[in-house]
Protein backbone atom coordinates (compact mmCIF):
# COMPACT_ATOMS: atom_id res chain seq x y z
CA UNK A 1 0.00 0.00 0.00
CA UNK A 2 1.29 3.48 -0.85
CA UNK A 3 2.39 5.59 2.11
CA UNK A 4 -0.11 8.36 1.36
CA UNK A 5 -2.98 5.86 1.18
CA UNK A 6 -1.93 4.44 4.55
CA UNK A 7 -1.76 7.94 6.01
CA UNK A 8 -5.22 8.81 4.72
CA UNK A 9 -6.66 5.63 6.26
CA UNK A 10 -5.01 6.42 9.61
CA UNK A 11 -6.48 9.92 9.53
CA UNK A 12 -9.94 8.46 8.78
CA UNK A 13 -9.60 5.87 11.56
CA UNK A 14 -8.15 8.10 14.29
CA UNK A 15 -8.03 11.84 13.61
CA UNK A 16 -11.51 12.27 12.14
CA UNK A 17 -13.33 10.40 14.97
CA UNK A 18 -11.39 12.16 17.74
CA UNK A 19 -11.80 15.61 16.21
CA UNK A 20 -15.50 14.98 15.61
CA UNK A 21 -16.04 13.83 19.18
CA UNK A 22 -14.31 16.91 20.59
CA UNK A 23 -16.37 19.21 18.41
CA UNK A 24 -19.59 17.55 19.52
CA UNK A 25 -18.57 17.78 23.18
CA UNK A 26 -18.03 21.52 22.75
CA UNK A 27 -21.48 21.90 21.14
CA UNK A 28 -23.19 19.88 23.88
CA UNK A 29 -21.60 22.13 26.49
CA UNK A 30 -23.44 25.13 25.02
CA UNK A 31 -26.89 26.02 26.36
CA UNK A 32 -27.96 26.62 22.75
CA UNK A 33 -26.51 27.64 19.39
CA UNK A 34 -27.11 30.86 17.49
CA UNK A 35 -27.99 31.19 13.83
CA UNK A 36 -24.38 32.20 13.14
CA UNK A 37 -23.12 29.14 15.02
CA UNK A 38 -25.21 26.78 12.91
CA UNK A 39 -24.32 28.44 9.60
CA UNK A 40 -20.64 28.39 10.59
CA UNK A 41 -20.87 24.67 11.34
CA UNK A 42 -22.43 24.03 7.94
CA UNK A 43 -19.86 26.15 6.09
CA UNK A 44 -16.80 24.68 7.84
CA UNK A 45 -18.03 21.13 7.33
CA UNK A 46 -18.70 21.73 3.64
CA UNK A 47 -15.22 23.25 3.17
CA UNK A 48 -13.45 20.43 5.01
CA UNK A 49 -15.30 17.64 3.23
CA UNK A 50 -14.66 19.03 -0.25
CA UNK A 51 -11.01 19.64 0.61
CA UNK A 52 -10.63 16.04 1.82
CA UNK A 53 -12.44 14.60 -1.21
CA UNK A 54 -10.39 16.60 -3.73
CA UNK A 55 -7.13 15.73 -1.94
CA UNK A 56 -7.97 12.02 -1.91
CA UNK A 57 -9.06 12.08 -5.55
CA UNK A 58 -5.75 13.71 -6.48
CA UNK A 59 -3.67 11.13 -4.62
CA UNK A 60 -5.72 8.23 -6.01
CA UNK A 61 -5.49 9.32 -9.64
CA UNK A 62 -1.80 10.10 -9.15
CA UNK A 63 -1.28 6.40 -8.43
CA UNK A 64 -3.22 5.30 -11.48
CA UNK A 65 -6.63 4.56 -9.95
CA UNK A 66 -9.35 5.39 -12.47
CA UNK A 67 -12.60 7.23 -11.64
CA UNK A 68 -14.54 4.05 -12.49
CA UNK A 69 -12.54 2.09 -9.90
CA UNK A 70 -13.53 4.72 -7.36
CA UNK A 71 -17.21 4.22 -8.16
CA UNK A 72 -17.46 7.43 -10.17
CA UNK A 73 -19.54 5.94 -12.96
CA UNK A 74 -23.24 5.66 -13.77
CA UNK A 75 -23.13 1.86 -14.05
CA UNK A 76 -25.95 -0.03 -15.73
CA UNK A 77 -28.90 2.32 -16.12
CA UNK A 78 -31.84 0.06 -15.19
CA UNK A 79 -30.01 -1.57 -12.28
CA UNK A 80 -28.92 1.79 -10.86
CA UNK A 81 -32.40 3.29 -11.14
CA UNK A 82 -33.97 0.25 -9.45
CA UNK A 83 -31.48 0.33 -6.58
CA UNK A 84 -31.81 4.10 -6.17
CA UNK A 85 -35.61 3.96 -5.91
CA UNK A 86 -35.64 0.92 -3.61
CA UNK A 87 -32.87 2.12 -1.31
CA UNK A 88 -34.22 5.67 -1.23
CA UNK A 89 -37.71 4.56 -0.18
CA UNK A 90 -36.35 2.21 2.49
CA UNK A 91 -34.16 4.89 4.08
CA UNK A 92 -36.88 7.54 3.91
CA UNK A 93 -39.38 5.29 5.67
CA UNK A 94 -36.78 4.26 8.22
CA UNK A 95 -36.03 7.89 9.10
CA UNK A 96 -39.72 8.73 9.46
CA UNK A 97 -40.26 5.78 11.80
CA UNK A 98 -37.09 6.61 13.76
CA UNK A 99 -38.12 10.23 14.33
CA UNK A 100 -41.58 9.24 15.55
CA UNK A 101 -40.11 6.60 17.85
CA UNK A 102 -37.70 9.10 19.37
CA UNK A 103 -40.49 11.61 19.92
CA UNK A 104 -42.39 9.02 21.97
CA UNK A 105 -39.40 7.91 24.05
CA UNK A 106 -38.60 10.11 27.07
CA UNK A 107 -35.14 8.59 27.46
CA UNK A 108 -34.32 9.13 23.80
CA UNK A 109 -35.32 12.80 24.07
CA UNK A 110 -32.67 13.26 26.76
CA UNK A 111 -29.92 11.48 24.81
CA UNK A 112 -26.82 13.31 23.57
CA UNK A 113 -27.71 12.57 19.95
CA UNK A 114 -31.08 14.28 20.24
CA UNK A 115 -29.64 17.23 22.17
CA UNK A 116 -27.00 17.63 19.48
CA UNK A 117 -29.67 17.48 16.77
CA UNK A 118 -31.61 20.30 18.41
CA UNK A 119 -28.46 22.45 18.41
CA UNK A 120 -27.32 21.91 14.81
CA UNK A 121 -30.43 21.21 12.72
CA UNK A 122 -31.89 24.16 10.73
CA UNK A 123 -34.61 26.39 12.16
CA UNK A 124 -35.58 28.73 9.30
CA UNK A 125 -35.57 29.00 5.51
CA UNK A 126 -32.04 30.32 5.13
CA UNK A 127 -30.64 27.63 7.41
CA UNK A 128 -32.56 24.95 5.51
CA UNK A 129 -30.98 26.09 2.23
CA UNK A 130 -27.53 25.97 3.83
CA UNK A 131 -28.38 22.59 5.34
CA UNK A 132 -29.38 21.34 1.88
CA UNK A 133 -25.92 22.26 0.59
CA UNK A 134 -24.38 20.55 3.61
CA UNK A 135 -26.34 17.33 3.10
CA UNK A 136 -25.48 17.23 -0.61
CA UNK A 137 -21.80 17.72 0.23
CA UNK A 138 -21.78 15.05 2.93
CA UNK A 139 -23.58 12.54 0.71
CA UNK A 140 -21.17 13.01 -2.21
CA UNK A 141 -17.92 13.40 -0.26
CA UNK A 142 -18.43 10.71 2.40
CA UNK A 143 -19.58 8.15 -0.14
CA UNK A 144 -16.56 8.93 -2.30
CA UNK A 145 -14.13 8.78 0.65
CA UNK A 146 -15.48 5.65 2.33
CA UNK A 147 -17.20 3.62 -0.41
CA UNK A 148 -15.13 4.92 -3.29
CA UNK A 149 -11.56 5.34 -2.05
CA UNK A 150 -11.30 3.37 1.21
CA UNK A 151 -13.26 0.35 0.00
CA UNK A 152 -11.24 0.10 -3.23
CA UNK A 153 -7.86 0.57 -1.51
CA UNK A 154 -8.57 -1.96 1.25
CA UNK A 155 -9.95 -4.49 -1.22
CA UNK A 156 -6.98 -4.03 -3.55
CA UNK A 157 -4.51 -4.30 -0.68
CA UNK A 158 -6.09 -7.38 0.95
CA UNK A 159 -7.27 -9.04 -2.29
CA UNK A 160 -10.59 -9.79 -0.57
CA UNK A 161 -13.85 -8.05 -1.43
CA UNK A 162 -15.33 -8.65 2.03
CA UNK A 163 -12.35 -7.03 3.77
CA UNK A 164 -12.75 -3.94 1.64
CA UNK A 165 -16.44 -3.78 2.50
CA UNK A 166 -15.89 -4.40 6.22
CA UNK A 167 -13.00 -1.95 6.47
CA UNK A 168 -15.01 0.75 4.72
CA UNK A 169 -17.99 0.20 7.03
CA UNK A 170 -15.80 0.31 10.15
CA UNK A 171 -14.10 3.54 9.10
CA UNK A 172 -17.52 5.04 8.34
CA UNK A 173 -18.81 4.06 11.78
CA UNK A 174 -15.67 5.46 13.50
CA UNK A 175 -16.43 8.83 11.88
CA UNK A 176 -19.74 8.78 13.80
CA UNK A 177 -18.13 8.03 17.18
CA UNK A 178 -20.00 10.98 18.67
CA UNK A 179 -23.25 9.00 18.40
CA UNK A 180 -22.17 6.56 21.10
CA UNK A 181 -22.10 2.77 21.07
CA UNK A 182 -25.61 2.40 19.67
CA UNK A 183 -24.83 4.86 16.90
CA UNK A 184 -21.60 3.04 16.06
CA UNK A 185 -23.45 -0.24 15.59
CA UNK A 186 -26.26 1.23 13.49
CA UNK A 187 -23.84 3.28 11.38
CA UNK A 188 -21.64 0.24 10.79
CA UNK A 189 -24.70 -1.71 9.64
CA UNK A 190 -25.63 1.09 7.23
CA UNK A 191 -22.02 1.16 6.05
CA UNK A 192 -22.11 -2.55 5.28
CA UNK A 193 -25.31 -2.13 3.28
CA UNK A 194 -23.82 0.77 1.34
CA UNK A 195 -20.56 -1.14 0.76
CA UNK A 196 -22.53 -4.10 -0.58
CA UNK A 197 -24.55 -1.89 -2.90
CA UNK A 198 -21.41 -0.16 -4.16
CA UNK A 199 -19.71 -3.54 -4.82
CA UNK A 200 -22.82 -4.91 -6.56
CA UNK A 201 -23.61 -1.90 -8.73
CA UNK A 202 -20.06 -0.68 -9.31
CA UNK A 203 -21.33 2.87 -8.79
CA UNK A 204 -21.62 5.36 -5.93
CA UNK A 205 -24.83 6.86 -7.33
CA UNK A 206 -27.26 4.65 -5.32
CA UNK A 207 -25.49 5.20 -2.01
CA UNK A 208 -25.07 8.94 -2.61
CA UNK A 209 -28.82 9.30 -3.23
CA UNK A 210 -29.75 7.13 -0.23
CA UNK A 211 -27.29 9.00 2.01
CA UNK A 212 -28.74 12.32 0.83
CA UNK A 213 -32.33 11.24 1.45
CA UNK A 214 -31.53 9.84 4.91
CA UNK A 215 -29.70 12.96 6.13
CA UNK A 216 -32.07 15.48 4.57
CA UNK A 217 -35.22 13.79 5.87
CA UNK A 218 -33.91 13.48 9.43
CA UNK A 219 -32.67 17.07 9.37
CA UNK A 220 -36.03 18.46 8.26
CA UNK A 221 -38.33 16.13 10.20
CA UNK A 222 -36.52 15.71 13.52
CA UNK A 223 -36.56 19.30 14.88
CA UNK A 224 -40.33 19.74 14.57
CA UNK A 225 -41.23 16.34 16.01
CA UNK A 226 -38.70 16.49 18.84
CA UNK A 227 -39.57 20.05 19.87
CA UNK A 228 -43.27 19.21 19.79
CA UNK A 229 -42.66 16.15 21.97
CA UNK A 230 -40.55 18.19 24.41
CA UNK A 231 -43.31 20.83 24.71
CA UNK A 232 -45.99 18.19 25.31
CA UNK A 233 -43.94 16.54 28.04
CA UNK A 234 -43.19 19.91 29.66
CA UNK A 235 -46.91 20.79 29.66
CA UNK A 236 -47.79 17.38 31.07
CA UNK A 237 -45.23 17.71 33.85
CA UNK A 238 -46.51 21.20 34.63
CA UNK A 239 -50.08 19.92 34.90
CA UNK A 240 -49.00 17.00 37.08
CA UNK A 241 -47.10 19.45 39.30
CA UNK A 242 -50.18 21.64 39.73
CA UNK A 243 -52.31 18.61 40.57
CA UNK A 244 -49.79 17.49 43.18
CA UNK A 245 -49.76 20.94 44.79
CA UNK A 246 -53.58 21.06 44.85
CA UNK A 247 -53.81 17.62 46.47
CA UNK A 248 -51.21 18.54 49.05
CA UNK A 249 -53.19 21.65 49.95
pLDDT tens sequence across 162-196: 999 999 999 999 998 888 777 788 899 999 999 99
Q: What is the DSSP string of 159-198?
A: S-HHHHHHHHHHHHHHTTGGGHHHHHHHHHHHHHHHHHHH
Q: What is the pLDDT of residue 234?
A: 57
Measured distance CA(204)–CA(211) in Å, rounded: 10
- C-alpha gyration radius of the chain: 20
Residue 64's CB: how many other CB atoms inside 10 A?
Answer: 7
Our CA dihedral for 18, 21, 25, 28, rounded to 10 degrees, sits at 170
pLDDT tens sequence across 13-63:
999 999 998 998 999 888 889 999 999 999 999 999 999 999 999 999 999
pTM: 0.87
Q: What is the pLDDT of residue 195?
A: 96
- How many contiguous H segments (helices) and E segments (strands) does the chain have? 11, 0
Of 179 and 7, the one with more pLDDT: 7
pLDDT tens sequence across 99-111:
777 666 666 666 7
Least confident of 27-36, 95-104, 216-225, 236-245: 236-245
Count up the domains in the chain and report the number.
1
Q: What is the pLDDT of residue 51?
A: 97
Q: What is the pLDDT of residue 232?
A: 63
Output phi, psi for 72, to 5 deg.
-90, 65
pLDDT for residue 199 is more than 90: yes
Output phi, psi for 73, to 5 deg.
-145, 160
Residue range of the domain that includes 155: 3-248
Average pLDDT score, the chain: 87
pLDDT tens sequence across 55-92:
999 999 999 999 999 999 887 888 899 989 999 999 88
pLDDT for residue 244 is more than 60: no
Mean pLDDT of 133-146: 97
Residue 124's CB: how many other CB atoms inside 10 A?
Answer: 9
Contacts of 120 (CB under 8 A, 6+ apart): 27, 33, 38, 41
Amino acid sequence: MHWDFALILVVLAVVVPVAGRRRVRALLALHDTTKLDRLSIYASTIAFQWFAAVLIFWRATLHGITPAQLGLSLGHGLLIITIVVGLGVIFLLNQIVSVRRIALDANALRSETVQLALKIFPRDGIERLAFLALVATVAVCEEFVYRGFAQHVLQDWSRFLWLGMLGSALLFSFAHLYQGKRGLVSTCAVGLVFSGVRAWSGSLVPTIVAHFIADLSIGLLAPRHIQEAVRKRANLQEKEGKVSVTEAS
